[in-house]
Amino acid sequence: MEKIIDEKQQGNSLVIEPKKQNTRKLFIESYGCAMNFSDSEIVASILSKEGFNTTQNLEEADLVLVNTCSIREKAEQTVRKRLEKYNAVKRINPGMKVGVLGCMAERLKDKFLEEEKIVDLVVGPDAYKDLPNLINEVEAGRNAVNVILSKEETYADVSPVRLQSNGVSAFVSITRGCDNMCTFCVVPFTRGRERSRDPQSIVEEVNDLAAKGYKEITLLGQNVDSYLWYGGGLKKDFKDASEIQKATATNFAGLLKLVAEAQPKMRIRFSTSNPQDMTLDVIEAMAKYPNICNYIHLPVQSGSDRILQKMNRLHTREEYFSLINNIKDLIPDCGISHDIITGFPTETEEDHQDTLSLMKYVKYHFGFMFAYSERPGTMAARKFEDDVPEEIKKRRLTEIVSLQQEHSLYRTQQFIGKTVEVLIEKESKKSSEQWSGRNPQSTVVVFPKENYKIGDFVNVKIKNCTSATLIGEPVGLSENN
Ligand code: SAH
Ligand code: F3S
C-alpha cells in the first residue's frame, strides 16, 4: 500500500506509568501532526504533578482531553465525532470533565463552548502550563478558556512523559509556531509566531533519552530549517537582537551538529523542512554525520510557479530543482518525500501537469497527498474562491497518487539485493514472526525475527518489495549497537 494519507490524524490515547500518589484519571488523545502527539506528552507531564494518572479507559476518566487538528475540514469533523462519543460516556459518568486542546481550541476559542455543550475547557497550544488553574475553575463549576498565544513559550523546562510505546523512538520539539504564512495554511493562526527552544535543553533531552535506551529521535517543528536560537524571543525579532546575540546564535545546521556530536549512536531525523528555508549547511551537516538519517521530508505543494506564488511558497520550481540537485550531489542515497495539495484555487489542467512533471523529475520515495480544503481566516479563504470542483480535485488527486505509487515502487526496487541498516521498532502488522523497522531513508523494512529484539540495529539484505515495504533477511547486528 502506498502511504496515501488522506488524513494524517489517527486517534491515539496516551498512557504513562502510574504514580502511586495520583488518584485522578486523565484520558488524553491526540489527532493530527506529530507536534500534537508531542504536546500531549507535555500535558500529561504537567498534569501528573496535579494528581492525574493516565488511563486508556474513557469510561473511568475524571478528565478527558482531546488534542485537536484544524489543518483540513475533515480533521475537525473527526474531532466533532469524538465529542459525540464523549457525550454518550458523560451520561454514564456525569462528573467527567471534557477539555479541548490544540489547533481547534485556538481557532474556535470560546465559540467552542457554545457550539459543543459537552466542552468545559478550551486551551490553546501555548497555554498548557495554565491547565492546573483552568482545571480548578472547571471543578468549581465554571467553564475555562485560555487561548493566549505566547512569544516565549517553548516548554523547554517541561520534561515530557513518554508515550509508553516501544522505548526506541521519540519526538523532541525544537520550534513552535510558524512565520511562513502559506496562504492555504491555518497553522500560523493556531500556533502563533515562530520561536525556537534553547539548544542546551534540546541536547539535555536527547542525552536523557539516550540514557533511557532510546535509539532514534525526530526533531520537530513546523519549519525546522528556520530554527534560530539567540537567547529567546520570536524569530521575527532577531533583527533587533544585540551583536553578541547575533554572533552566538545557533541555526538549524548548528543544532544538528550539537545533537549529532552529543549522541553519535543516536539516529537523528527531523521534520518538517520548507524548501525556501533549507540551506546548504543543513545538507552538509547531514552528509558529514553518519547518525543523521539520509531522509528529508520536503513538501512542495505544487509544481506550478503560478500556484506556488499564490500559495506564498517563496521558491520557484527551478529553485526547488536546484535544492534537489544539491541534495543528490551531497547525499546520493537520500530519501525524499513530499506533501502535495491538488485543486488549490484557480489550478488549471496545465498547473496540474506541472505538478506531475515535477514529481517525475524528483521520483519521490513516498508522499502525502491532499485535496485542497479551504480554512476560514486564511489568506486563501479571504482572497481566492475555492473554485476547483470537488470531482476535479479528486481526479487530480487520484492521478498524483497513482504516479507516486509508480515512483515508490521504483524506489523500493532499487534496494533489492542491497543490505540496509534497520532499527527494529515493533512487530510487523502482518506477521507475528517478523520485525518491522525503517532504514535511514525512512522506508519500512520487515524481516524474520530470529533472535533480534526491539531496539536492535540490524543489517538486512533486501530480497523483495512492495511499493511501500522492503522485505528482507537479517545478516547480523550492525556496528551501531
Ligand atoms: N510545516 C508543517 C506543514 C503543516 S501541514 C509540518 O510540519 O508538517 C502538513 C501538510 O498539510 C502541508 O504540507 C500541506 O500539504 C497540507 N495542508 C495544509 N493546509 C492544507 C489545506 N488547507 N488543504 C489541504 N491540505 C493542506
Ligand atoms: Fe503551514 Fe506553510 Fe508553516 S504549510 S505550517 S504556513 S510552512
Ligand 1: nearest atom to the Cα of 187: 4
Residue with cell string 544585540 = 242
Burial of 439 per CB tally in 10 Å (0-12, 13-18, 19+): buried
Question: Does residue 255 contact residue 294 with C-beta atoms inside 8 Å?
Answer: no
In a domain, 157, yes or no: no
Residues 389 and 244 grouped into a single domain: yes
Residues 203 and 278 grouped into a single domain: yes
Look up the CATH number of the domain holding residue 25: 3.40.50.12160
In a domain, 151, yes or no: no
Question: Does residue 331 contact residue 408 with C-beta atoms inside 8 Å?
Answer: no
Look up the CATH number of the domain holding residue 430: 2.40.50.140
pLDDT value at position 333? Answer: 96
Residues 212 and 64 grouped into a single domain: no
Beta carbon of 38 within 6 Å of any ligand 1 atom? no
Report the separation in Å between the CA atom of 182 and the middle of ligand 2, taken as the mean of its atom positions: 5
Burial of 7 per CB tally in 10 Å (0-12, 13-18, 19+): middle
In a domain, 162, yes or no: no
In a domain, 1, yes or no: no
Spatial separation of the C-alpha atoms in residues 191 and 444, rounded to whole Å: 31
- pLDDT by position in tens, the chain (length 481): 333 333 333 455 555 555 557 789 999 999 999 999 999 999 999 999 999 999 999 999 999 999 999 999 999 999 999 999 999 999 999 999 999 999 999 999 999 999 999 999 999 999 999 999 999 999 999 999 999 999 999 999 999 988 666 899 999 999 999 999 999 999 999 999 999 999 999 999 999 999 999 999 999 999 999 999 999 999 999 999 999 999 999 999 999 999 999 999 999 999 999 999 999 999 999 999 999 999 999 999 999 999 999 999 999 999 999 999 999 999 999 999 999 999 999 999 999 999 999 999 999 999 999 999 999 999 999 999 999 999 999 999 999 999 999 999 999 999 999 999 999 999 999 999 999 999 999 999 999 999 999 999 999 999 999 999 999 999 999 998 8
Report the separation in Å between the CA atom of 105 and the middle of ligand 1, taken as the mean of its atom positions: 18
In a domain, 159, yes or no: no
Residues 279 and 401 grouped into a single domain: yes
Spatial separation of the C-alpha atoms in residues 287 and 291, rounded to whole Å: 10
Residues 382 and 237 grouped into a single domain: yes
Going by alpha carbons, the residue nearest to atom 1 of ligand 2 is 185
Residues 405 and 431 grouped into a single domain: no
Residues 437 and 395 grouped into a single domain: no
Residues 80 and 187 grouped into a single domain: no
Residues 187 and 72 grouped into a single domain: no
Beta carbon of 219 within 6 Å of any ligand 1 atom? no
Residues 260 and 391 grouped into a single domain: yes
Report the separation in Å between the CA atom of 312 and the middle of ligand 1, taken as the mean of its atom positions: 13
In a domain, 251, yes or no: yes
Going by alpha carbons, the residue nearest to atom 2 of ligand 1 is 222
pLDDT value at position 179? Answer: 95
In a domain, 113, yes or no: yes
Ligand 2: nearest atom to the Cα of 272: 7
Residues 431 and 396 grouped into a single domain: no
In a domain, 158, yes or no: no
Count of the separate structural domains present in the chain = 3
Going by alpha carbons, the residue nearest to atom 5 of ligand 1 is 71
Look up the CATH number of the domain holding residue 257: 3.80.30.20
Question: Does residue 412 contact residue 466 with C-beta atoms inside 8 Å?
Answer: yes
Q: Which of 110, 131, 146 is the last residue of a domain?
A: 146
Domain range holding 432?
419-477
pLDDT value at position 23? Answer: 87
pLDDT value at position 400? Answer: 98
Ligand nearest to the backbone CA of 311: 2
Q: Which of 385, 410, 435 is the last residue of a domain?
A: 410
Q: Which of 410, 441, 469 is the last residue of a domain?
A: 410
Residues 125 and 47 grouped into a single domain: yes
